[in-house]
């Protein structure tokens, strides 16, 4: 039986690995050596990676790819993408190429407001806490003046505080809803620091307020935290062209457009389809968010919440055909940063931002939205023409061959064979077995 380990965080990396080997790996030397194979040969760079999180034992590698030929607002971009899934980079590149001679992608930032809340328990008279808030609002704002000094110099800071009575949803529940502008920073640490100071000031002032002393109920802080749901931090990206320009050797333009719109309508109607539909969008978004050192979990949470804003989970993309013009667009919330966090620490994040020509946070929002739109276009295009598996399995073929430790000759012969045969895992295994 495995026993709990005490003081694990104080052990050296070597001691942590040895504990793992002794406890779970039966001292498997091969498993242990695998960890060191992924260490960086540059000790300084390895130490940098070790310090990103706690209890680091090695690095976990993901492929860093690029998707070229993205024409966005008449400027050509190459997108850095970090992802493990086959065909994502290829699909993005194909979508970029498809729209390159049709005007490319257009994108615009609608708003950049972020938010957080101080959540309050208060079971007294609502008028009492509302009057108290009106009295102390200016003091709450003043309490964070030193915290937001540098942010204000960059044009950001606290925008507004309001007291929200949510006691109809949950008994005794109020919140201080705070909105912020954080410019090129994602701003999570800044927002949380502000909120905690506002909460402390609010509670201290409430303790000294005579009205609460005379009341049977006193406001107490439950928690203070930013929100990853940022529906006021919006970006829109779109493509459009005459329907006739959608024609390819595979399908006539009008038929393609009709099938495409039907696929979007299905994703708007059926949540089971919408989840997979939006997951494909996030393939492109997450890959770019991860490459630029941003928080893809926060982005995922906020985007999927936005997909449910009408009361049911639905498509994040939309399409129309009007007067012979096909238009396809996406509107999503994205809280991103190009300064702070890993953006100034991780060498590959710096590299990714350089590839993107060192964008501002607003420019990065536009590029990321385009990546999601391109990914969705590529997926739906496959679904309504050849089917999703033809392209996906072609890319997956090399993964299967690597799993089988195929040599270069076997790979070459297998790739050639499956140019004219359906790719399945069992079919590839059988073919390679026959070669051997």
Point out the residues that are catalytic: 85, 279, 295, 392
DSSP string, 12-32: -HHHHHHHHHHHHSTT-HHHH
Query: How far apart are alpha carbons 69 and 62 in whole angstroms?
Result: 23
C-alpha distances out from residue 398 to 65, 124, 370, 393, 411, Å = 16, 65, 28, 9, 8
* Residue 382 token pair: 């496959």
Q: Helix or strand or coil: residue 128?
A: helix
Q: Helix or strand or coil: residue 214?
A: coil
Q: Name 224's bridge partners.
A: 118
* Residue 142 token pair: 């003043």
* Residue 148 token pair: 């937001």
Query: How far apart are alpha carbons 237 and 153 in whole angstroms?
Result: 30
342 contacts: CB under 8 Å, gap ≥ 6: 52, 293, 349
**Rg of the chain taking only CA atoms, in angstroms:** 27
C-beta separation of 432 from 408 below 8 A: no
What backbone phi and psi angles, to 5 degrees, belong to 250? -85, -35
DSSP string, 291-330: HTT--HHHHHHHHHHHTTTTSS---SEEEEEETTEEEEEE
390 contacts: CB under 8 Å, gap ≥ 6: 382
What backbone phi and psi angles, to 5 degrees, belong to 371? -60, -40
Q: Name 331's bridge partners.
A: 236
* Residue 388 token pair: 């999703």
Smallest Cα–Cα separation from 363: which of 188, 154, 108? 108
136 contacts: CB under 8 Å, gap ≥ 6: 201, 202, 205
Smallest Cα–Cα separation from 95: which of 350, 356, 380? 380
């Amino acid at each position: 039986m495995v026993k709990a380990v005490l003081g694990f965080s104080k052990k050296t990396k070597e001691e942590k690995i040895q504990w793992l080997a002794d406890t779970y790996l039966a001292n498997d030397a091969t498993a242990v050596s695998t960890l060191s194979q992924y260490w960086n040969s540059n000790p300084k760079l390895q130490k940098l990676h070790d310090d990103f999180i706690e209890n680091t034992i090695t690095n976990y590698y993901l492929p860093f790819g690029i998707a070229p030929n993205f024409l966005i607002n008449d400027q050509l971009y190459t997108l850095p993408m970090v992802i493990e899934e086959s065909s994502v980079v290829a699909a993005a590149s194909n979508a970029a190429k498809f729209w390159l001679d049709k005007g490319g992608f257009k994108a615009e930032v609608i708003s950049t407001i972020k938010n957080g809340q101080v959540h309050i328990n208060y079971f007294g008279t609502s008028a009492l806490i509302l009057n108290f808030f009106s009295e102390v609002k200016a003091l709450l704002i003043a309490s964070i003046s030193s915290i937001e000094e540098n942010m204000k110099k960059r044009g950001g800071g606290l925008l507004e505080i309001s007291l929200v009575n949510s006691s109809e949803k949950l008994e005794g529940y109020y919140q201080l809803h705070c909105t912020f502008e954080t410019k090129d920073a994602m701003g999570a640490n800044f927002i949380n620091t502000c909120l905690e100071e506002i909460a402390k000031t609010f509670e201290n002032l409430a303790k000294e307020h005579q009205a609460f002393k005379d009341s049977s109920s006193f406001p107490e802080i439950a928690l203070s935290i930013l929100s990853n749901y940022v529906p006021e931090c919006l970006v829109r990206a779109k493509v459009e062209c005459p329907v006739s320009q959608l024609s390819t050797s595979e399908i006539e333009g009008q038929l393609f457009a009709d099938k495409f719109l039907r696929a979007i309508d299905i994703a708007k109607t059926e949540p089971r389809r919408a989840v997979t539909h939006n997951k494909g969008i996030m393939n492109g978004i997450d890959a770019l968010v991860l490459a630029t050192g941003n928080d893809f979990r926060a982005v995922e949470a906020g985007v999927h919440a936005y997909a449910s804003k009408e009361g049911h989970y639905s498509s994040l993309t939309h399409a129309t055909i009007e007067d012979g013009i096909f238009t396809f667009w996406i509107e999503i919330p994205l809280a991103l940063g190009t300064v702070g966090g890993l953006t100034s620490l991780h060498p590959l994040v710096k590299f990714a931002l350089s590839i993107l020509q060192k964008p501002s946070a607003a420019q990065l929002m536009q590029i990321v939205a385009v990546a999601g739109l391109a990914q969705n276009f590529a997926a739906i295009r496959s679904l309504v023409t050849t089917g999703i598996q033809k392209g996906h399995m072609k890319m997956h073929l090399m993964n299967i061959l690597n799993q089988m430790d195929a040599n270069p000759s076997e790979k070459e012969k297998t790739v050639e064979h499956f140019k004219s045969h359906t790719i399945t895992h069992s079919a590839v295994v059988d073919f390679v077995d026959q070669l051997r």
